Structure 1
Amino acid sequence: MSFDYAILVRNKTRLELLIERFNTKAQAKFYIESLGGQFEEYESENDRFQESFALVQRQLSSVIKNKIVERTYLPSFLFNKKQVVVVVGQDGLVANTAKYVNGIPIIAINPDQERYDGVLLPFTPQDFMPAVERVMSNQFRVREASLAEARLNDGQRLLAFNDLFIGAASHVSARYRIAYQGAEENHSSSGIIVSTKSGSTGWLSSIFNMTTGMTRFVDSDQKRSSPPALGDKELLFVVREAFQSKRTQSSLVAGILHEAAPLVVESFMPTNGVIFSDGVESDFLQFNAGAIATIGVAPEKARLVLKG
């Protein structure tokens, strides 16, 4: 198969966002330094990224035409199988991209090894080109990762690489009915987190840290708890801060989801109900009264290109 373009996915640096906000670099510098911040850190971070990105683009241009897609435009960009997808940025950008490429293999590059851990970023600007050549010749290996899916009763759907949040857009309580493995409850809570295997060390782990700390407050001998190990086709849901009252319950607060055991949530929120994925609040489904969401493992998988 011949390829038309390489799609270079990137996010704006903190300095670029500051300049957008304050119109000029000088004004951005004045703002940061007036608050006691070190503007040099923003500059050095930006310089390193721009240098890395330019190197990636220069090398790609020698073998294939390329286009740049900013993270903001991922939900509306149309990916196809004749594109080589190259992500340059942090791990979160890989997660954001994986939801929209419909199984196209992703070559993920760490532009700054001193700043970014790069759990999902096996390549550097200096060593990624053999991976591009392997993808173009269909001789590559991938790590496949399951995605979570929220599907509404009107046909809308949203995917997540790490986790889904189901709740209210503000800090008010979320009101809904939850159904899982034959049990149902009405809830008033801070929302539901549904995590994939890939995301279990992120937001989900912080919830377990909180519950461990609270339990230790009561019992100092309590051992540290952590999320259970998930299979490739499993998700884990956790209800945050369920409130028990005459009309709401708090027993159905966690469980493992798989093909035969999805999670069904019916919204009781007249306004401001949302479902968003991977911490990106701007990419969401409205989840207001009358909406019913079925949560489970998506049929698609993320495919991350491996070294060698």
Structure 2
Amino acid sequence: MNFERVIIIRDKTRLEQLIERFNSKAQAKFYIERSEGNFGYYEIEHDTFYQSLNKIQKTISKRLKYKVIDRSFLPTYIFTEQDLVLAIGQDGLVANTAKYVNGLPIIGVNPDSERYDGVLLKHTPDDLSTVIKNVLKGEYATKQVTMAKAVLNDGQTLLAFNDFYIGADSHVSSRYDIEFKGKKERQSSSGVIVSTGAGSTGWLSSIFNMKNNIIGHSTVSERENRAQMDWGDNKLVFVVREPFLSKVTQTNIGFGIITKKQTLKIESNMPTKGVIFSDGIESDFLNFNSGSHVEIGIADEKANLII
């Protein structure tokens, strides 16, 4: 690829979010300290982020043009094949970015290694110069990550890097008809989770942990063998959370493997407040109320993380 500029994706720091909430830094500080919180922690985190961002901008400017955009603009920003995407923040920012860049290579940069685990953030501001140099020479490798795709009967679509949640947007029961491998039944549950390989160590693993605790076999080896998948595997796992057996609802379809040839279909029976959340981001969702049908399968798009 012939990259002409770098698109830097960032999110607001927690201090910036507090200032937005309380209208000023002074008011935010007063609220946090009155609640016996450590406001200095937010300030240090904020300063560290901007030190990293400034270093990144200086490094990039020596070789390419760049543009910084906020995470909130991802759904509407138009990326081109000449864009090299760089996400600076926490792991969730990389996951969210991957859904909107149409397979463009992504450099994940950890701005604060002391605070963030950085599973998806393979680089630091200090090694970015070498990374950019290698990318421009075409001497780089990417790790492909399989994503999930939800398609509604009205044509709306949504991608997931880690997982989908299909169900009610609150703690009331989720009601729907589920169809898998030619079998169909009506269910009432706490919703359905569909996980990719990248997400298998997150929400999906917690469901297996709960199951293992119930049956008394909460061993590390069993959890890993059942819950984890390689990021590039062309398969997804779905699990029904807490299905309820009644005169009109069944519990026979509770777990399955989604492949290129085998999708999962769900029809909503929720008059209101039915949703499909992507990657746990409440602003990244589709309404899923009565009359809506969704088909969950493997996305043709792959996320490409520069390693």
- List gaps (5 residues or longer) in structure 1: 217-221
Query: Secondary structure of 1:289's partner?
Result: coil
**TM-aligned CA deviation for residue 78 of structure 1:** 1.1
Write the deviation string for residues 126-177 of structure 1: whole angstroms up to 9, x where unpaired. Answer: 1012222333333321000100111111211110110011111122111111
**Could you say what secondary structure the match of 1:76 adopts?**
coil
TM-aligned CA deviation for residue 223 of structure 1: 4.0
Deviation at 1:10, TM superposition (A): 0.6
Shift of 1:115: 0.6
Deviation for aligned residue 1:60: 1.0
> SS at 2:164's partner residue?
strand
Pair 1:15-2:15 in alignment = yes
Residues 13-40 of structure 1 deviation map (CA, whole Å, 9 limit, x = unaligned)? 1111001111111111110111111111
Residues in 1 aligned to 2:142 and 2:170: alpha-carbon distance in whole angstroms? 39
Aligned counterparts of 2:3 and 2:163: Cα–Cα separation in 1? 32
Deviating more after overlay: 227-236 vs 289-298: 227-236
Q: Is the 8 A contact 1:107 1:132 kept in 2?
A: no
State the SS of the aligned residue for 1:75.
coil
Match of 2:208 in 1: 208
Alpha-carbon separation, structure 2, partners of 1:223 and 1:97? 34
- CA distance 1:60–1:174, shift in 2 (3 Å): same
Which residue does the alignment assign to 1:253?
A: 254
Q: What percentage of residue pairs aligned between the two structures are identical? A: 53
Local SS of the residue matching 2:300: strand
For 1:187, the equivalent position in structure 2 comes to 187
Stretches of structure 2 lacking an aligned partner (at least 5 in a row):
none
- The equivalent residue for 1:264 is 265
* TM-score of the aligned structures, taking structure 1 as reference length: 0.94
Which residue does the alignment assign to 1:219? none
Quote how far apart the aligned CAs of 1:207 are.
1.1
- Tell me which residue corresponds to 1:230: 229
Distance 2:268 2:80 in 1: 35
C-alpha displacement of 1:66: 1.1
Secondary structure of 2:298's aligned partner: strand
Asked whether the 8 Å contact 1:276–1:285 carries over to 2, the reply is yes
Counterpart residue number, 2:45: 45
* Structure 1 CA distance for aligned equivalents of residues 197 and 268 of structure 2: 26
Distance 2:21 2:218 in 1: 46
